[in-house]
Amino acid sequence: MTRLLELFSEPFAKTGNIAADGFRRLLGCPAQDLLQTMLRESIQNSIDAALPGFGPSLSIRFRTLTSQQCTALREVVLADLPQGDHTRNEIATSIGTVGLKVLEICDFRSIGLSGPTSGDVASDGREALNFVNFLRNVGVARDTYHGGGTYGYGKTSLYAMSACSTILVDSQTTCEGKPVRRFMGCHLGSAFDADTADNKRRRFTGRHWWGISDGDGGIDPLTGSHAAELAASLGMPERDLNNTGTSILILDPYIEEGEDVRSINHYIQETILWNFWPRLTASTPEDKKLTIRVEIEEHEVALPVPDDFPPFDLFASAMKAYRDNADDVQIIRSERPKKDLGKLIIKRGLCADRLGSALDDNSGIPEQTCHIALMRPVELVVKYIEGTPFADTRFEWAGVFICSDEDEVESAFAMSEPPAHDDWIPDNLPDRNAKTFVRGALKRIEQAASTFAAPVMSVASSSKERGPSLAGTASRLGRLLDSVSGKGPGRSKPVPRSPHVKHELAISPTRFIRLEIDDKNRRCAIFEADLQNDGANAMLEISAESHLVADGVVADGEDLPAGFETRVIGMSFDGVDEVTLGPTIKVGTESGTISISVLSPPEAAIGVRLRFLNEGRA
């Protein structure tokens, strides 16, 4: 039979404590909203707790408790409610809700809440104090080398996310090298006065735990098979001795529902991508790669791959260049004192059509990206610096800056972060060198963000020179220029526009429409052109030839390094509903719009030349 949990309310010590109200304020005022902050902090904690050599696996579930699960919650887990009137009413209201919702964050392939359960036990340094640091202590310095967290305050976002400030925690972990299962409930309320069991009036901090009495005036977690049974009764994930990790269940989360509210699945998707895309890309090393499963009311929600989800494809390209130490990686340096501060990489490309959640009216994903993602070597996004976009909205750019992993530099950036880890604030740092590192890097990054788009606009449109060979200079590919028309370099020929000219054969320059993935999973650029026909040739055909554009000029096929080949793979013509899989299409005597599909190499700009066949003119 499942064992009932006991309640322990923390009294103030003679020397004082931090009240729960103050504990909740430690998170400060994050730049993101509550759900974003909670997901960000929780996933970051899971990353820091990953087993060596493994990327953590996470499950995020939003669900409604069944009637049996609600009964277990009310009669076994939270049968004994705190004495403070406000806290008691808050919890009672939530657990009495019909159709009670919960939000669950679970990690696997992590070490779990290991170590001793008492906060006053001395550490020998051989075992992580994850249990006491997560469930007992406040403001502990990070114990993960170059980890994402620095303060241990982010856990307050879990309580803030709950309408009754209550979470339930289940962990399969180790203590003194032996496997152990642990279950505990926790609440952050408000300080209050109440009578104790011996009829003495005392002051309480507002922190409460549900577990099993330790026999010495304290509380320990429920352990072993009892813990596993209780977790199962609430629908939490099953775990065996080898499936280590932690499940956190947030009761009655602050998540709005309704027709006018953005769907929770899109919101969670976007939050994960915006903050954790570096851990989800194709180039992410296996020991850093995140596996995240999202489930909303028992329906699994697919998480897009950043490389195929604009604009994260450009961020992913920049991240790959950083990992490959590519030629276009720029070192940001400090002169006094001399120190490499980090690496900056910016990639540009065609502004592809947004997909999925990015199409929502209130999506936070920009329609035209001009941002640099800032991060430490742990590869978690701290914040974005927004720069100047390209004047030509067909193009966009994205970059990354990763500070150096040299201890003095990495520590400076880590310690400049507020408790929510969502900014770099040099004025937070007392050390002069550390302040110089962070302030100097931010200044250089902001300069790059504000000026990167300018060179594109400064190139003259009348260049007729054939550019240098691109062999061995792939870093130059993708210089996107509005001045290059679909007919190639040089000044484009004007298309007659007078409505009185009825017998003039002409075709407009091609215009870029969008990027898409075809049914063979190939990256394709779609172009269109308008045909004005003179109706004189029933056998008239149009041929399309694609080319790479670099530095304002066209690169011939023989100049291209491996991986940058491009070709026309399909054309259609609405004048006669004609479709072809090759580079030539018959148009006959009709006028209309021609659509051209072209294989598009990553990190490159392409153009399309059109010419008439059977007519002797281009």
Question: Could you read off the pLDDT of 296-310 as tens digits, one per residue?
Answer: 999 999 899 999 999
One-letter amino acid of 492: S
DSSP secondary structure string for all residues of 336-347: TTTEEEEEEEEE
Q: Please give the Cα distance from 403 to 382 (Å, whole number).
A: 11
pLDDT at 140 over 80: no
pLDDT tens column, 159-204:
989 999 999 999 999 998 899 999 999 999 888 888 887 788 889 9
Q: Identify the pLDDT of residue 149.
A: 47
Q: What local confidence, expressed as pLDDT, does residue 511 receive?
A: 85
**Is the bond leading into 366 cis (omega within 30 degrees of zero)?**
no
pLDDT band at 29; cut points 50, 70, 90: low
Mean pLDDT of all residues in 268-286: 94
Q: Does the bond joining 337 to the residue before it have cis omega, within 30 degrees of 0?
A: yes
Question: CA 168, CA 234: separation in Å to the nearest integer?
Answer: 10
- Reported as a single tens digit per residue, the pLDDT across 98-137 is 999 999 999 999 999 999 998 777 777 778 889 998 888 7
What ranges do the domains of the chain cover? 50-255, 312-457, 474-613
Query: What is d(CA 132, CA 113) in angstroms, rounded to the nearest whole number?
Result: 8
The Cα 618–Cα 610 span in angstroms is 7
Read off the tokens for 565.
């080949």
Q: In the CATH hierarchy, which top-level class contains the domain 474-613? A: mainly beta
Rounded to whole angstroms, how far apart are CA atoms 182 and 414?
A: 31
**Rounded to an integer, what distance in angstroms lies between the CA atom of residue 173 and that of residue 317?**
37
> DSSP readout, 313-336?
HHHHHHHHHHHHT-TT-EEEEETT
Query: Using an 8 Å Cβ cutoff, are 177 and 190 in contact?
Result: no
User: Nearest 5°: phi and psi at 2?
Assistant: -65, 135
Which residues touch 591 (CB under 8 Å, ≥6 apart)? Answer: 531, 532, 533, 575
- The pTM assigned to this predicted structure is 0.71
Q: Which residue has the tokens 């609430």?
A: 234
Q: β-pairing, 381-386 with 511-517?
A: unpaired
Inter-residue long-range contacts of 78-81, CB under 8 Å, 24+ positions, other chains counted:
78/5, 78/166, 78/185, 78/210, 79/4, 79/5, 80/5, 80/6, 80/7, 80/210, 81/7
Q: Return mean pLDDT, the chain.
A: 83
Three-class HEC string of 362-408 = CCCCCCCCEEEEEECCCCCEEEEEECCCCCCCCEEEEEEEEECCCHH
Tokens of 88: 């008691």
Of all residues in the chain, the percent with pLDDT exceeding 90 is: 50
As a whole number of angstroms, the distance between CA 223 and CA 229 comes to 10
Print the SS3 string covering 223-260: EHHHHHHHHHHCCCCCCCCCCCEEEEEEECECCCCCCC
Q: pLDDT per residue over 450-462, tens digit each?
A: 988 864 322 233 3
Structure tokens at 303: 């998480």
